[in-house]
Amino acid sequence: VIDGTEVQYKNTYSYRFVLIFILGVGSAVLIAFSMDEDLKKKTEERKNKLLYEYPEFISKLALLMGAGMSLNGALRRIYADHMKDANPLYEELGERGMEDFGKRTGLVEYRKFCSLLAVNLKKGSFNVKEMLEEEAEDAFLKHQSLIRKRGEEAGTKLLLPMVMMLVLVIVIIMI
């Protein structure tokens, strides 16, 4: 009692700080997860572009070497022709040339190509042209199967909208 008035003290604890803290941590986790997914998506897109360009790259290289150009000359020519393209393959070629090219791309096809060139450079370039032509043929066949697979995936993605349209048409007919 103070000056005849009754005073009471009550300790009220606000949970707003805890709620804001939990929301902040949750938001940070969601943002980090989103950035991680975006990075994975970009990496997968880059690998797909590299796989898509591989048969054309190998066939151009085989063609230029078959015409009498050296390996370095053929690579420089291919890079010069596609220097302005925003393509990861030609960016990789321009960065550091063939040194660790297969490791940087991270794809089996390019590693095989680099090991093929390394072996032939060590032993001599006796049958590089024939090996490159065989690799170009294999790459073309893999490219065909990759395109077929992408077509099947696109068909599968279109299945749900088609079913929804069918249901909508059936509902309209019934009404």
**pLDDT value of residue 173:** 95
CA distance 85 to 88: 9
- Which DSSP state fits 6? -
At residue 146, the pLDDT reads 86
pLDDT at 114 over 90: no
Q: What is the pLDDT of residues 45-65, one digit of tens each?
A: 888 888 888 888 888 888 888
CA–CA dist 24, 7 (Å, integer)? 38
Q: What secondary structure does DSSP assign to 112-163, as a single string?
A: HHHHHHHHHHHH-SSSHHHHHHHHHHHHHHHHHHHHHHHHHHHHHHHHHHHH
Q: Give the separation between CA 91 and CA 50, rounded to whole angstroms.
A: 11
pTM as predicted = 0.63
- Residue 4 gets the label, from left (phi > 0), alpha (psi -120 to 50) or beta, of left
pLDDT range class, residue 172, cuts 50, 70, 90: very high
Report whether pLDDT(85) > 70.
yes
**Percentage of the chain exceeding pLDDT 70:** 93
| % the chain with pLDDT above 90 | 19
